């Protein structure tokens, strides 16, 4: 794991990174249990990708615009979507910030946090983010737009169109591929014929870099440098973060297509376990602190779950709210 001192992080920064990684994991685990108990209809997990997401979060600024994909629970949690708001979305209740309980779970969005509304068709968010980055450049703002996606989505035309446009216009845009090696059941060697997806950046006139996605410090450094280039007018960056998917693609997926020895190795290299070991080795935190954080997070998630279960469902008359334009002149 990269030396935190070389990138300017403090002990408090490292504790913050661990806390957000753990909160994302524990919310995810609770949702998985609720699904198996028959209380949630659908869950899509971020377990194993928290290091990439929280390393990214720590390198961003509040004014930056996010266009996440469905597996970015840890990222949007750190950005400000609370555990309760995520639970409300999962239970399809009124307080869901993304749609008021009318959209699938994991379609993250919240206007106040500059998290763009997400569509269900994979890869569309990269086009939205590039559009946002164009507006930032036109307005002369020192901010960037960031999109995330899985490696399977890089086979979609939207991805290539977005990167090409961003490169041509030198937009303040960062695209992060969270490469967990499986596009649902399709392994990476059947998805693309290169060892480094970030090498495609050269063809778009962008900067490209591959990083260990299980190391939040390394991810932080790479994204921080990409952001600095972007706000200095040096154009977009394509980052490939090599990370792990510790669960099936979703709660509806049977992932017996994955070799058992591969899964065993992935769990041994769990980014949260490894980062905790790193904090202990560097005397950043002790058992008392880890236990305190676990207790605080457990209490937060218990409260969020209870409140979401008790919350009202959307009213039938709200079904078309924010779906069709409600402005314009009334008939005379």
Where in the sequence numbering do the catalytic residues fall?
245, 249, 257
Which distant-in-sequence residues (6+ apart) come within 8 Å of 108 by Cβ? 68, 70, 72, 73, 76, 81, 89, 98, 115, 118
Secondary structure (H, E, C), the chain? CCCHHHHCCCHHHHHHHHHHHHHHHHHHHHHHHHHHCCCCCCCCCCCCCHHHHHHHHHHCCCCCEEECCCCCHHHHHHHCCCHHHHHHHHCCCCCCCCCCCCCCCCCCCEHHHCECCCCCCCCHHHHHHHHHHHHHHHCCCCCCEEEEEEHHHHHCHHHHHHHHHHHHCCCCEEEEEEECCEECCEEHHHCCCCCCHHHHHHHHCCEEEEEECCCHHHHHHHHHHHHHHHHCCCCCEEEEEECCCCCCCCCCCCCCCCCHHHHHHHHHCCHHHHHHHHHHHCCCCCHHHHHHHHHHHHHHHHHHHHHHHHCCCCCHHHCCCCCCCCCCCCCC
């Amino acid at each position: 794991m990269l030396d935190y001192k070389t990138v300017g992080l403090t002990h408090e920064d490292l504790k913050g990174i661990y806390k957000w990684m753990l909160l994302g994991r524990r919310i995810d685990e609770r949702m998985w249990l609720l699904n198996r108990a028959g209380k949630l209809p659908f869950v899509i997990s971020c377990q194993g990708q928290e290091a990439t997401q929280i390393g990214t979060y720590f390198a961003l600024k509040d004014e930056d615009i996010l266009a996440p994909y469905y597996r970015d629970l840890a990222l949007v949690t750190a950005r400000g979507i609370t555990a309760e708001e995520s639970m409300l979305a999962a239970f399809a209740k009124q307080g869901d910030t993304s749609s008021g309980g009318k959209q699938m779970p994991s379609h993250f969005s919240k206007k106040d946090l500059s998290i763009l509304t997400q569509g269900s068709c994979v890869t569309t968010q990269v086009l939205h983010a590039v559009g946002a980055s164009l507006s930032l450049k036109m307005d002369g703002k020192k901010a960037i737009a960031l999109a995330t996606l899985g490696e399977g989505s890089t086979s979609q035309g939207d991805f290539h169109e977005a990167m090409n446009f961003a490169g041509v216009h030198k937009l303040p845009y960062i695209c992060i591929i969270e490469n967990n090696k499986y596009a649902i059941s399709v392994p990476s060697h059947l998805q693309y014929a290169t060892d480094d997806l970030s090498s495609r950046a050269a063809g778009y006139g962008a900067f490209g870099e591959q990083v260990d996605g299980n190391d939040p410090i390394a991810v932080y450094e790479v994204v921080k440098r990409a952001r600095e280039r972007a706000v200095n007018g040096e154009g977009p960056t394509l980052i490939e973060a090599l990370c792990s998917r510790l669960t099936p693609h979703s709660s509806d997926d049977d992932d017996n297509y994955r070799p058992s020895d591969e899964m065993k190795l992935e769990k041994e290299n769990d980014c949260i376990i490894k980062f905790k070991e790193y904090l202990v080795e560097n005397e950043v935190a002790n058992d008392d602190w880890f236990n305190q954080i676990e207790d605080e997070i457990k209490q937060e998630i218990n409260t969020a779950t209870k409140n979401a279960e008790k919350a009202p469902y959307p009213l039938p008359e709200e079904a078309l709210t924010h779906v069709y334009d409600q402005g314009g002149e009334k008939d005379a």
